[in-house]
Structure 1
Amino acid sequence: MAIATLLQRESINVVDYRCNAGPDDRPFPEQHRQYSISFVRRGSFGCHIEGEHYELVAGSVFIGHPGGEYLCTHDHHGCGDECLSFGLSAEVVDMIAGPQRPLWRTRCVAPLPQLMIVGELAQVIAAGNSDMALDEAGVLLAAKYIEVVSGQSRRSLRTHAQARRRAVEAAMWIDANSQHAIDFEQAARQVGLSSFHFLRLFAAIIGVTPHQYLVRSRLRHAARLLADEDRPITAVALDVGFNDLSNFVRTFHRAAGMSPRDFRRAARGDRRIFREMMAPAARA
């Protein structure tokens, strides 16, 4: 495990985790020392929490609270995973969550478009390619988490290891090929399943349908390009797999709460846009 501390303050710290564990590495119980929210940006890993099993892929989010126990596994993918993790003080969590504080327990969250886009923005900031600050990105990601998961729950998944492996492999294949015109039948063939069984399996284990994950993967890649590069927005839309600009703008706006153009401006330090990003979460 390679660990790099990117920011260390009393109220928030940011750590870059790069894990190269694989199927041959023996898992062991771990415990969160603080409140945290971690964005999975590459690879995959399994996580056992209080009798439930989750599979996290690129775009998933891992929530931690002090004393929360978990056990991570790498049964399905040989090159590990990478996470950008924000550690938060109790005061910051109280400020962000308010009456929704019970939502901040150790848990895993399926890839949600609002969180994926903010996670990509945080990565751009971590790489030094934005005028926004890392602590701002952490607060925004935490606030968005509270906003989008309010009232949501995830049922316990009782699936065997081979089924989980196939779902994770399919998710990674979709993410790697999301710029192309693919459908769930192609993904089902990649893991040797019938279309009907694949749909049920993927949604149960990953937490979203294959098509939802495809669209969200495209949005995640688009967010990175918008923040990192100067290519025209139309080119970004086509490069990540959207067929036309209007569909891309509409889908991105629905996920991010702003247009691609405004997102690019926010990533480059437009304070007004950043305040507007925070406003819906503050009202949640």
Structure 2
Amino acid sequence: MSILSEPAHLVDPHAERIGETSGVRTYLARVEQSIADGRDRPWDKMYGKTGIGIMLSGWCEYRSQTGHVTGVPGTIFFGNQDEHFTGRYLGAPGIRRLAIWYDNDFLEKIADACGIDHPRFSVAALPPGKPAYGIFRDMLALIVGSGDVEYIASSLAETALLFGRESKSSPRISDRDRKRILSAVRHIDSGFFESCSVDALAAITGFSRYHFMRLFKAVTGQSANQYVIATRLRAAAVRIAETKVPVSDIAFDVGFNDISHFNTYFRAAFACSPRQLRNRYRS
């Protein structure tokens, strides 16, 4: 079978599901890696789920209803639910691949937000290169459950759905829609210390959840969650520099519920710890 769904005689019995945190499981049906023996027996199968896979080692010939490619390490493969495909490995032992299978309901919502009638990928594969690297980076983020998981899952799905289609640019924003998004921005700026969930922000604008997520990124350059975190960090940095209030109190006051998460985000944003920032301003 292909990179996305191996037949029983090719799958290592120790193939494993990885990265299934509660957050990832909400958006993805399965995340898995597996190893094949590299024998060149052909296969002819059908996908049971829609998924994205990457070849980590080995080579294969792959043909689906959307195209025909020779897969090499770094090739990204796209498979649609109920799509027939054929192929064979090209004799390389230790074939390794990583695959992400999307939950159908989630994928349908992303397609709808992108103005796509059917949540199906229009290309069979993407060769190694910068776009493929970006997809691999997002796949790894989902596997470990790091960052804004929902945004990464939806952004990855959007990117894959738009490959091979006419519209690959950011969505056009009308003045009216921009004002609606900015109403959510104003809400965050004035109430960042309280809960700012995506659902609540979408409700303010009147957009559906995933349409809101897409437009918010187009307007601000960040996902809604990233914007909330950045706003909280800026507010925290000012208070840390200007006051003697304990750092932990400041972290909770600006909206963080976990001091370790706050410290991690703060270091990533300012390249120093909160205490180091305070000491610099005191000196």
- Normalised by the length of structure 1, the TM-score is 0.45
Give the greater-gyration-radius structure (CA). 2
